[in-house]
Amino acid sequence: MEWDINAIPHINEIPAQHGVFTGASAKILHTFNERMHKDNKIVGSLREAIERSGLQDGMTISFHHHFRNGDYIVNMVVDELAGMGFKNLALAASSLTDVHEALIPHIQNGVITHIETSGLRGGLAEAISDGLMDFPVVFRSHGGRAAAIESEELHIDVAFLGAPSCDPYGNANGYNREEENGSCCGSMGYAKLDALYADTTIILTDHIVGFPNAPFGIPESNVDFIVCVDSVGDPKGIMSGATRFTKNPKELLIAKTAADVIEKSGYFYDGFSMQMGSGGASLATARFLREKMLSSKIKARFALGGITGQIVEMHEEGLVEKILDVQSFDLVAANSLKNNRFHQQIDASFYASYSNEGAAVNQLDFVVLSALEIDTQFNVNVLTGSNGRIRGAIGGHPDAAAGASLSVIVAPLTRGRIPSIVHKVNTVVTPGSTVDVVVTDQGVAVNPLRGELAKRLRDNGIPLCTIEQLQKKAESIVGDPEPIHYSEAIVGVAMARSNSIIDVIRRVREA
Amino acid sequence: MRRLRRSMLFVPGNNPGMIRDAYIYGSDSIMFDLEDSVSIHEKDAARFLVYNALTTIDYGDKELVVRINDLGSGLGLADLEAIVRARPDVIRLPKTDSAEDVLQCEREIARIEREAGIPLGQTGMMAAIETANGVLHAYEIATSSKRLIGIALGAEDYVTDLKTVRSDGTELFFARNMILNAARAAQIDAVDTVFSDVNDEEGFLAEARLIKQLGFNGKSVLNPRQIAPLHAVFMPSEKDLAKARAVVEALEEAKQRGSGVASLNGKMIDKPVAMRAQYLIELAEAGKPATMGEGV
């Protein structure tokens, strides 16, 4: 009997292109090795990749900052885009640094008309503080950026992602397993999310390796084109050998005090979780905690965040069971990611996305973070300097402070003639409601919102003072700085991690 | 309460960054140096800096000491003229070889005190003994002036004078004992020399234990990192502390009974035992986290 396909209920509702099976497509008879060379995602030039990406004027391009100050990718790509005549592009980088001063002429020529980033430094920060751009720069935290990408508030049309290694199908990673030399950045945490959400993802690499480049940071399923370049960055600028353990006695004093506070806080127990921000004092805190862990036989379940050699050392001696690494700060960390199976690379959303209830920051017992300024409302500024100009980066600061059960901010009371504890921060980056303890070289203050914590610390012999006392002490040493005079013009907008506006950065009026 | 001198933090007089917050590290005394750590070209600047620091910065309850250049160098008198007026607790004399060195300095200090309207005798003195000759005159030096709160060993110059170098402390054994014995005979403090290799934590600890056992009150330290380990060495053990507390309680109890004789576990508490107990309790009190008190 003739089989009637139309007898199947609802068959007409299945779109026509699905059709009926008529036999396999032609079988490829090349070896895998031949296929890999003939049929892959590698294109002849950056220009060709851009042409094929569908990029148009007015669109948004993205970059990661895992190459830090050694990055060649941003300047290389924007130079090419300028040469091709693109205008009015939005540049959304996970962060920008000194080396991106080279963007200034492209901003002046209208190639780049909007910037989103975690931070700005050096010449570009200076120029933007002086009003280089008509449209304010949007500053987001790493977790805020992840949430904005996920909600399409930040839609990436084309992502240009540098990678120290990549196979012909786009499996990319922050190190190279095939040979020891070449560039290396460790985790590709911020790039992973861009690759996943961008309409088109282009990998730029200086090391094509055989398929499969496993384990990988970015999977081929998120990659459209691959461009081979001579070099993705300057290895010396990408990362240093090992983050130096500070010998500065003041930083050590602050770190020791912070470790004492943590020990007595109730959040130091067998199986705790932690994050240590970058900066001498917060990194040194890990050293003092290590001694306490050894003497009281306590282990950490995991360490999160930007990872340094110090955390790796603790992992390798069994004090930290697992490492969740969104960004590797030094070569020791990068090598550990390569060699230690419980050192896991995670993306920015996993790390800290505001829209991700299960983000790793929400599993933190405590975090130690540094600050440029802290005010008497416990608000923290890590973005603008005491002169009101942009000079830093939000990073994961507000994400970790909000997520951790105990957020500890470490800072010297004064830096030279500049007070760190002030009446009002120039820019609110991390809201005071998420900051629990401020540790300075001259006193520890607990947020009045955490009365129970203050009591616990006092009961355990940690002397406390008020944040107002710290502010007055700083003022008694360096005096009250003259107020900064701002104009109406807004050069930057600081977003809370929820991506609502938490503060604006105004242009400083010339004296 | 008697002043403890477990640690005397050395602060170069030409280093404003360290001078500004030298009080945060928890040393018992701070010694601003105008002598060997300041090059000849910066003597005036350092003197000016230390004078202004002493008259403007609140160092809390720290004992403030200034090491001047010796009077023979031609700089010492100018140091005294400025520094005595800034009213430090103590002037430290370097390279003291004889009682006359102390007396000569004392006369100048007294004159400046009178000129500046400072109560006569308010400025304390401390003599550092740094030569073979000085060590032989330790007792004479220690008893030369009522202003002296202590004598100290300066080992770097001393070992050079002896034609040796510093090692495990064998070479300093005689000098340490001479100075210590002289200080105790004169009933003033004895302060040991610095340990220069700040990265050698083990060596530092060994030396700290040695000088504590010899009987020194404390040591000069070059780096704030040396303070906490030094204080830990001077921290009495829980067992000794419990015994000391029992002694003090027994004394209190006897006092309340109106009895002049106290006893503990059937044994009479004599004066040396009582004094040692009191000293141990003071050390323990000072060993508490005191770097940052309430109210900054």
Task: For residues A145 and A192, state if they share a domain.
Answer: yes
Cα distances from B8 to residues A8, B4, B100, B166, B266, in angstroms, run 95, 10, 25, 20, 41
- Residue B296 at interface with chain A, using a CB cutoff of 8 Å: yes
The closest CB to that of B296, out of A252, A257, A443, belongs to A443
The closest CB to that of A469, out of B17, B25, B295, belongs to B295
Region A78-98: what's the mean pLDDT? 98
For helices B238-257 and B271-287, angle between their N-to-C axes, nearest 10 degrees: 120
What's the DSSP call for residue A152?
T
Which stretches of chain B score pLDDT less than 70?
A: 1-2, 288-296
Task: For residues A193 and A254, state if they share a domain.
Answer: no
What's the DSSP call for residue B131?
S
Region A185-196: what's the mean pLDDT? 97
Give the pLDDT band (50/70/90) at residue A183: confident
Residue B180 lies in a domain: yes
Task: For residues A384 and A266, state if they share a domain.
Answer: yes
Reduced to 3 states (helix: H, G, I; strand: E, B; else coil), residue B146 is: coil
Task: For residues B156 and B98, state if they share a domain.
Answer: yes
Give the model confidence (pLDDT) of A103-142 as tens digits.
Answer: 999 999 999 999 999 999 999 999 999 999 999 999 999 9
Distance CA A85, CA A47 (A): 12
| Residue ending a domain, choose from A192, A219, A238 | A238
Give the model confidence (pLDDT) of A419-471 as tens digits.
Answer: 999 999 999 999 999 999 999 999 999 999 999 999 999 999 999 999 999 99
Task: For residues B272 and B213, state if they share a domain.
Answer: no
Range of the domain at B221: 7-234
Task: For residues B168 and B246, state if they share a domain.
Answer: no
Query: Quick one: CA torsion of B169, B173, B175, B179, rounded to 10 degrees?
Result: 110
Task: For residues B152 and B272, state if they share a domain.
Answer: no
State the CB neighbour count (10 A cutoff) for residue A241: 10
Task: For residues A204 and A311, state if they share a domain.
Answer: no
pLDDT (0 to 100) of residue B295: 36
Instruction: Residue B103: give its domain's CATH number.
Output: 3.20.20.60
pLDDT (0 to 100) of residue A309: 92
Distance CA A162, CA A228 (A): 10
Decide if B58 and A476 are in contact by the 8 Å CB cutoff. yes
Residue B276 lies in a domain: yes
Residue B65 lies in a domain: yes
Which ranges constitute the DSSP H helices of A265-403?
Answer: 280-296, 309-316, 331-339, 348-352, 397-403
Decide if B289 and A461 are in contact by the 8 Å CB cutoff. yes
| Residue ending a domain, choose from A238, A271, A293 | A238
Using the Cα atoms of residue A26, residue A29, residue A32 and residue A33 in order, give the sign of their dihedral.
Answer: negative
Cis peptide before A215 (omega within 30 of 0): yes
For the cut 80, the answer to whether the pLDDT of residue A224 exceeds it is: yes
Size of interface A-B (CB pairs under 8 A): 52
Give the count of domains, chain B. 2
| Residue ending a domain, choose from B200, B219, B234 | B234
**Closest residue in chain B to residue A461, using alpha carbons only:** B289
Query: How far B288 CA lies from chain A's nearest CA (Å)?
Result: 9
Task: For residues A229 and A81, state if they share a domain.
Answer: yes
B256 burial via Cβ count (<10 Å: 0-12, 13-18, 19+): exposed
Give the model confidence (pLDDT) of A140-182 as tens digits.
Answer: 999 999 999 999 999 999 999 999 999 999 999 999 887 777 7
pLDDT (0 to 100) of residue B272: 85
Task: For residues A201 and A99, state if they share a domain.
Answer: yes
Task: For residues B63 and B181, state if they share a domain.
Answer: yes
Reduced to 3 states (helix: H, G, I; strand: E, B; else coil), residue A163 is: strand
Task: For residues B76 and B169, state if they share a domain.
Answer: yes
Residue A10 lies in a domain: no
Residue A197 lies in a domain: yes
Residue A77 lies in a domain: yes
- Residue B224 at interface with chain A, using a CB cutoff of 8 Å: yes
Instruction: Residue A412: give its domain's CATH number.
Output: 3.40.1080.10
Q: What is the ipTM of this complex?
A: 0.80
Task: For residues A184 and A258, state if they share a domain.
Answer: no
Residues 6+ away with beta carbon under 8 Å from B199: none
Task: For residues B50 and B194, state if they share a domain.
Answer: yes
Q: Which helix (H) or strand (E) holds A201?
A: strand A200-205
Decide if A464 and B294 are in contact by the 8 Å CB cutoff. yes
Residue A300 lies in a domain: yes
- Residue B295 at interface with chain A, using a CB cutoff of 8 Å: yes
Task: For residues A187 and A56, state if they share a domain.
Answer: yes
Region A279-295: what's the mean pLDDT? 92
Decide if A252 and B291 are in contact by the 8 Å CB cutoff. no
Task: For residues A194 and A333, state if they share a domain.
Answer: no
Q: What is the pTM of this model?
A: 0.88
The closest CB to that of B292, out of A414, A442, A476, belongs to A442
**Closest residue in chain A to residue B26, using alpha carbons only:** A253
Angle, vertex CA A81, rays to CA A77 and CA A86, nearest 5? 150
Residue A490 lies in a domain: no
Chain A residues lying within 8 Å of B21, measured CB to CB: 250, 413-414, 441-442, 477
Task: For residues B150 and B58, state if they share a domain.
Answer: yes
Decide if A260 and B225 are in contact by the 8 Å CB cutoff. no
Give the model confidence (pLDDT) of A316-356 as tens digits.
Answer: 999 999 999 999 999 999 999 999 999 999 999 999 999 99
Residue B201 lies in a domain: yes
- Residue B10 at interface with chain A, using a CB cutoff of 8 Å: no
Task: For residues B48 and B99, state if they share a domain.
Answer: yes
Give the model confidence (pLDDT) of A368-413 as tens digits.
Answer: 999 999 999 999 999 999 999 999 999 999 999 999 999 999 999 9
Left, alpha or beta for A129 (phi > 0: left; psi -120 to 50: alpha)? alpha
Residue B295 lies in a domain: no
What's the DSSP call for residue A429?
S
- Per-residue tokens: A155: 């839609």
Task: For residues B192 and B246, state if they share a domain.
Answer: no
Give the model confidence (pLDDT) of A306-319 as tens digits.
Answer: 999 999 999 999 99
Range of the domain at A141: 34-238
Strand partners, A421: A374
Task: For residues A184 and A288, state if they share a domain.
Answer: no
Q: Which helix (H) or strand (E) holds B99?
A: helix B99-116
Chain B residues lying within 8 Å of A477, measured CB to CB: 20-21, 57
For chain A, give the mean pLDDT: 94
Distance CA A229, CA A248 (A): 41
Residues of A with CB under 8 A from a CB of B: 247, 249-250, 252-253, 256-257, 260, 413-414, 416, 441-444, 461-465, 469-470, 472-473, 476-477
- Residue B292 near residue A254, CB atoms below 8 Å: no
Residue A26 lies in a domain: no
pLDDT (0 to 100) of residue A16: 62
pLDDT (0 to 100) of residue A1: 59
Give the count of domains, chain A. 2
Which ranges constitute the DSSP H helices of A39-141?
Answer: 46-53, 73-83, 104-108, 122-129
Chain B residues lying within 8 Å of A253, measured CB to CB: 24-25, 224, 291
**Closest residue in chain A to residue B296, using alpha carbons only:** A443
Task: For residues B94 and B128, state if they share a domain.
Answer: yes
Give the model confidence (pLDDT) of A35-68 as tens digits.
Answer: 888 889 999 999 999 999 999 999 999 999 999 9
Percent helix, strand, coil in chain A, to 5, is 35, 25, 40
Decide if B25 and A249 are in contact by the 8 Å CB cutoff. yes
Task: For residues B130 and B254, state if they share a domain.
Answer: no
Distance CA A403, CA A207 (A): 37
Reduced to 3 states (helix: H, G, I; strand: E, B; else coil), residue B141 is: helix
A7-21, A436-450, A473-487, B186-200: which has the minimum mean pLDDT? Answer: A7-21
Region A283-290: what's the mean pLDDT? 93
pLDDT (0 to 100) of residue B291: 44
Residue B163 lies in a domain: yes
Distance CA A305, CA A317 (A): 19
Residue A54 lies in a domain: yes
Residue B293 lies in a domain: no
